[in-house]
Chain A
Amino acid sequence: MKAVNWGRIVFRGLNILLIAFLLLPIVIVILFAFNSAEFIVFPPEGFSLRWFDKFFTDPDFMGAFFLSLKLALITVVIATVIGTMAAMAIVRGRIPGARFLTAVFLSPLMLPAILTGLALFQFYVIIETGRTFWGLLVGHIVVTIPYVIRTSTTVLYNFDTSIEEAAQNLGAGPLAVFWYVTLPLIRPGVIAGSIFAFIVSFDQFPVSLFLVKPGQITFPIHLFNYLKYAFDPTVAAAATVTIAMSMSMVLLLEFTVGLQEYVKL
Chain B
Amino acid sequence: MVDPGRVRRRFSWGGYLLLAPSLLLFLVFFILPLAVMALISVLTGNPVTETEVSFTLGNYGKLTKDIFYLDVLLVTFRIGFYTAAAALLIGYPLAFQMARTRSKTIRTLMLMAVLSPMLIGIVVRTYAWMTILSDQGVVNSTLMEWGWIAKPIHLMYNEFGICLALVHILTPFLILTLTGVIGRIDLSLEEAARNLGASKARTFWEVTLPLSMPGIMAGSLLVFALAISSYVTPILMGGFSVITLPILIYQQISGVFDFGLGGALGFILLLVSLVIVILYHRAMSRLSRVAGV
Q: CB within 8 Å of B: which residues of A?
A: 4, 7, 11-12, 14-15, 18-19, 21-23, 25-26, 28-29, 32, 39-43, 82-83, 85-86, 88-90, 92-95, 101, 104-105, 107-108, 110-116, 118-123, 125-128, 138-139, 141-142, 145, 149, 168, 174, 199, 202-203, 205-206, 209-210, 220, 223-224, 227-228, 231, 235-236, 238-239, 242-243, 246-247, 249-250, 254, 259-260, 263-264
21 A-B contacts (beta carbon < 8 Å): A25-B125, A83-B22, A86-B23, A89-B14, A93-B18, A94-B15, A95-B16, A95-B19, A111-B270, A111-B273, A114-B229, A115-B269, A119-B30, A203-B120, A206-B229, A220-B122, A227-B130, A227-B236, A246-B120, A259-B108, A260-B107
Partner of B21, one of A7, A82, A227: A82
Per the bound structure, the CA–CA distance linking A243 and B119 in Å amounts to 8
> A-B contact count, CB below 8 Å?
267
Contact (A94, B94) CB under 8 Å given A142-B30, A199-B119? no
Instruction: Write out the residue numbers on chain A whose beta carbons fall within 8 Å of the beta carbon of B121.
Output: 202-203, 205, 220, 223, 239, 242
Instruction: Write out the residue numbers on chain B whose beta carbons fall within 8 Å of the beta carbon of A93.
Output: 11-12, 14-16, 18-19
Interface residues on B, range: 35 or more
Per the bound structure, the CA–CA distance linking A228 and B48 in Å amounts to 36
Top 5 A-B pairs, shortest CB-CB distance:
A93-B15, A112-B229, A25-B128, A119-B33, A203-B121
Q: Is the CB of A85 within 8 A of B112?
A: no
Contact (A224, B236) CB under 8 Å given A115-B270, A122-B263, A123-B32? yes
- CB under 8 Å from chain A, chain B span 248-277: 249-250, 253-254, 259, 262-263, 266, 269-270, 273-274, 277
Q: What is the chain A residue whose CB lies nearest that of B139?
A: A42
Per the bound structure, the CA–CA distance linking A264 and B122 in Å amounts to 24
Prevailing SS type, chain A contact patch = helix
